[in-house]
Amino acid sequence: MGVSPSFQAPAGTRDVLPPESARWEALVDCFARVAGQAGYGLVLTPLFEEVEVFARGVGESTDVVSREMYEFEDRGGRRMALRPEFTASVVRAFIQYRPTTPWKVWYWGPAFRYERPQAGRYRQFHQVGVEGLGSDEPHLDVEVVALAWRFYRALGLTRLRLDLNSLGDGVCRPAYRSALVDFLGSRSAELCSEHRDRWQLNPLRVLDCKKEECRAVAAGAPHQLDYLCQPCSDHWGAVLEGLQAIKIPYVVQPRLVRGLDYYTRTTFEVAAEALGTAQDAVGGGGRYDGLVEALGGPPTPAIGFSLGIERILLACDAEGVFASAGSELAAFVVDVTGGAAALAITEELREAGISADRAFGRRSLRAQLRTADRSGAAVALIVGPEEAAAGTVQLRWLRSDRGQEEIDRAKVVSRLREELG
Ligand code: HAM
């Protein structure tokens, strides 16, 4: 018989265990609060969709769809994909249910992309995000950017850069595209090996290529900002004005193109300067005024963003902010009389809404007290043979020098309520 294999989490995935997971909970709680304050409600969509939702939504020629999607055939022979992002799923749900607009929703959860795993880049990663559908007003763009900004600030992050661009719309994009095609055509021999022969497929992608050769060419490429039609130009101006009015600092980044094809007009990314790596984008988003129609719905302008939880936490570590949330345990019950008292007291406390834990395994007083101390609880409630006989417990403060006192067993709940508020 061979040795049984020792299984590990798949490459590019991570297990999040306590106490690290407490930070995740706190992060999602914080996002829920900031989004809720701005009138966004939680939306839950499936982890998988028909492949076409993403192929048509995100774009066939994007890396995300053409190389990174986890596709599979289900047992009914349907082509499915694990979601590589949320926006196309949320739009699919919008079209399916036709809620009244503006429809403002937030979400959190895992997304899947078959990328080369490295620091800050995973195959299963997690995002928080919002989508706002049904308004083309620049103020919605400003609200959405401000929401992301407020969230980062609430976590304590300060070393952030907001990069902003406009990608125009169906009216002005073609003129820009043909200028870009002319430009790239004249320089195609200088592009990286991947784009040299394939740049025509999606010329904008070249501007997003990380290879030195493409970056050198992209540096001289024309900008969409110089080709905006009047309505796009007015929209862009109003967004900048709105951001200035509420004092959100931004950097106009004419070369910012995003890796997904649905964008129109305002696009943005947030970089965490403390990360100092290639994976410094802690979030990104923008308008996608044509996506609802592309997926079969009525013309509906929209904008949103998604932020990467793992990268945000890395940025928090790099800035030394948003420390791990401490234990929230109020009481730890130490019972050396067999465990029946521990069972009764912990359950009574929990019923009363007071958090409580206990030791298992009939361990010694010393060992149980050590566990109590490590648990982070504010008090230990100790039951030995004498207390059991007298109907009392010893209440020992673990985080202060108030020492120990014996209290009536029947008064435990009311006493802890008083003490812990
Ligand atoms: P995205 O730029 O593809 O946009 O992803 C947003 C964020 O997710 C990134 O800035 C990064 O923080 C995180 N992220 C992406 N891929 C990975 C990965 N492999 N490992 C770790 N983190 C990652 C979107 O997903 C769009 N849906 C955003 C949006 C919403 N646009 C409009 N609405």
pLDDT in tens, 354-366: 999 999 988 999 9
Confidence of residue 139 (pLDDT cuts 50, 70, 90): very high
Q: What strand order describes the sheet that includes 302-308?
A: 41-42, 103-112, 124-133, 302-308, 281-287, 264-272, 160-166, 251-252
**Domain covering 331-420, topology:** Rossmann fold (3.40.50)
Residue 283 C-alpha from the chain's centroid: 8
User: What residue ranges do the domains of the chain occupy?
Assistant: 20-166+262-319, 331-420
DSSP 140: H
User: Which residue is closest in CA terms to ligand 1's atom 13?
Assistant: 308
Q: Look up the CATH number of domain 20-166+262-319.
A: 3.30.930.10
> Is the torsion defined by CA of 180, 181, 184, 185 positive or negative?
negative
Nearest-5° angle of CA 159, CA 165, CA 169?
155
* Residue 242 CB less than 6 A away from ligand 1: no
SS3 content of the chain, % helix, strand, coil (to 5): 40, 20, 40
* Residue 199, pLDDT score: 87
Q: Give residues with Cβ within 8 angstroms of 387, minimum separation 6.
A: 393, 394, 406, 409
Q: Is the pLDDT of residue 6 over 70?
A: yes
Q: Coil, strand, or helix at residue 329?
A: coil
The whole-model pTM stands at 0.93
Amino acid at the residue 344: A
127 C-alpha to ligand 1 centroid (Å): 7
Q: Which stretches within 219-334 are classed as H helix? A: 230-245, 291-294, 309-319
Question: In a mutational test of the pocket of ligand 1, which residue from 86, 165, 311 has the highest number of ligand atoms less than 8 Å from its CB?
Answer: 311
* Residue 308 CB less than 6 A away from ligand 1: yes
Amino acid at the residue 186: S
* Residue 141 CB less than 6 A away from ligand 1: no
Q: Is the pLDDT of residue 186 over 70?
A: yes
Q: Is the pLDDT of residue 2 over 70?
A: no
Question: Tens of pLDDT along 29-57?
Answer: 999 999 999 999 999 999 999 999 999 99
Place of tokens 């320089």: 187
Main-chain dihedrals φ then ψ at residue 394, nearest 5 degrees: -90, 130
